[in-house]
Structure 1
Amino acid sequence: MSGAQPVERVLPLIARAAKAGDQRMLVVAADPSLVDRLDKALWEQCPEDFLAHGRADAPHADRQPVLLSGDCSAANGARLLALADGQWREEAEGFDRVLLFFDEGGKAEARKTWRLFDQREDVTREFYELEDGKWVKKA
């Protein structure tokens, strides 16, 4: 998953869709400042949709439908993982669905990750970009 849109703009849209599908989501970013920006975006971007969320290091992490974390430990029982910083983690394979967000500078690394799964029959790969407010499947 990619696009010219910053993850702070795109992630709330994904979180809203996860909420509508009654899914819990874990959002991972190693950079604390990115976690802060995502936290703010989840509160502010879709004010008409209350996107309840919290941080893994805060009380009641297990109750959060969207959990922000620095690692792939899903205290909230999420099966949907959003790797918001563009960095693949092996622990991601323990989730049912993984979304890898990256910007223009992360394309080369994202391509390497894509190729990791070339021969895997147990993995379905899809690539989407946000165009004019709609998700468009590219591959």
Structure 2
Amino acid sequence: MFYHLTRSRAEETARLLLSRALAREWRVMLRGTDRLRLEALDLALWREPEDGFLPHGLEGGPHDAVQPVLLGLGAIGNAAQALMLIDGAAVSPEEARPLERVWVLFDGLDEVQLQRARGQWKELTGAGLAAQYWSEDSGRWEMKAETGSA
């Protein structure tokens, strides 16, 4: 599922999607490309919102394997059923195929991320994986394209 961010921050969309994944009792690996960015996300997930709690950990701790949500740069380290990608992080069709869900969150105002997401769409759908493209241009999330049976 590709999420084209134009109004929301990645942190806001990630929190929403991660909450839904945890409600399904899925473990999630959230993969980024920059350790400092993941550390900032880690802090944001602990602090916001004040009335919520999203159980998670930052890769490199003693309990990586049992984290409901693991934030990291590398391979899935928590037996996750779902993978969330931010900031242009990569996934191969082989890695994506056995997962329940893969989310690609990308900043539509960042040309590098936009081009990276287009390349990922072509690679994943070209390998026969089903995909959905969601946009928030209208002010709410709307599915704009779908391939296969996502």
Q: Give TM-score scaled by structure 1 length.
A: 0.85
Aligned to 2:10: 7
Name the structure 1 match of 2:106.
102
Q: What SS class does the counterpart of residue 50 from structure 1 fall into?
A: coil
| 1:94 positional shift | 5.3
Report how far residue 119 of structure 1 moved.
3.6
User: 3-state SS of the aligned residue for 1:35?
Assistant: helix
Larger proportion of strand: 2
- 2:96 and 2:52 map into 1 onto residues whose CA distance is 30
Tell me, what secondary structure is at the counterpart of 1:100?
strand
2:133 to 120, 127, 132: 127
Q: Which segments of 5 or more consecutive residues in structure 2 lack a partner in the other structure?
A: 146-150
Instruction: Provide, for residues 76-134 of structure 1, a one-character-per-residue CA deviation record: whole Å limited to 9, x for no partner.
Output: 2101000112232326435412111111211122111111234433x1110113464x5
* RMSD value, Cα: 1.9
Deviation of the 1:66 alpha carbon: 0.4
Superposed, 1:11-22 pairs within 5 Å as 11-22=14-25
Secondary structure of the structure 2 residue equivalent to 1:126: strand
Q: Distance in 1 between matches of 2:84 and 2:13?
A: 11
What CA distance in whole angstroms lies between the structure 1 residues aligned with 2:9 and 2:121? 20
Report the AA paired with residue 41 of structure 1. A
Distance 1:32 1:19 in 2: 23
Identity of aligned residues (%): 29
Given that 1:12 and 1:46 are in contact with CA atoms closer than 8 Å, whether structure 2 keeps it comes out as: no
Aligned-partner Cα distance in 2 for 1:3–1:82: 14
* TM-score, normalised relative to structure 2: 0.79
Deviation at 1:136, TM superposition (A): 2.0
Q: Which position in structure 1 is the counterpart of 2:148?
A: none
| Gap runs ≥5 in structure 1 | none
| Structure 2 residue matching 1:18: 3-state secondary structure | helix
Matched, 1:64 2:67: yes
Task: Give the secondary structure class of the aligned counterpart of 1:26.
Answer: strand
Count of matched residue positions in the alignment of Structure 1 and Structure 2: 136
